[in-house]
Amino acid sequence: MAWLDLGLHLTGLWFGPDLATRLARHLLVDPAGREQRHYAGFRPPRGHGDAAVLGAQRRMDTGFADPLTVTALASHAGLSERSFLRRFQRATGLTPAAYLQRLRVEKARGALERGSDNTAEIGWAVGYRDSSAFARAFRSVTGLSPGAYRDRFRVTARQTPGP
C-alpha cells in the first residue's frame, strides 16, 4: 500500500488535491483510513558526529526509565543547558523530551508485543509514573492505545507439533 500512498501523494503535489481524491476513489482506496505510524519504529540518528550528544543519547538508552532532566543530560554531555538543547535538536531532529518519549514508547512497544505484563506495569517499567500519561504518550506516537496495540501486534509463541 505504500506505493499507492506515494502515488497519491505525488499526484496531489503535482496535479492538486482534487485529482488525487478522484484517483483514490477510482482505485477504491481510502488514503485517510490507513495509519503507517502503527508500524514505524524509532531508530534515532547516531551518525551525526556530535560526541557530546551521542553520549547523552547513550545515557538515555540505558536510563530511559529514570527521571532524566535536561540539566542532568546537559551535565552528562559537558554542555550548558542552552548549548545542549540546541545541539541535541540539531543532531537528532527532536527535543530531549520528545526523544525520550519516543524511546520509552519504543521500549513499551516491544514489551506489549512480547510480554504479558499489564499496560500499567509496562508504563512504569519504561519510566511513566502515571498510567494515563503513559497511555496519552503511547497514543500520540503510535495512534493506538497500549491495549489496542497489544491486541493488534502481540507475538504469540509457535505451537510445536506433537509426537
Residue 35 banded pLDDT, cuts 50, 70, 90: low
Number of H helices, E strands in the chain: 9, 0
Q: Global pTM?
A: 0.75
Please state which of the ranges 3-17, 61-75, 133-147 shows the lowest mean pLDDT: 3-17
**Euclidean distance between CA atoms 16 and 75, whole angstroms:** 49
Looking at residue 21, what is its pLDDT? 79
- pLDDT tens figures, 88-134: 999 999 999 999 999 999 999 999 999 889 999 999 999 999 999 99
Residue 8 banded pLDDT, cuts 50, 70, 90: confident
36: left (phi over 0), alpha (psi -120 to 50) or beta: alpha
Whether the pLDDT of residue 161 is over 90: the answer is no
Mean pLDDT of the chain: 89
Residue 159 banded pLDDT, cuts 50, 70, 90: low
Average pLDDT for residues 58-72, to the nearest whole number? 95
Looking at residue 25, what is its pLDDT? 76
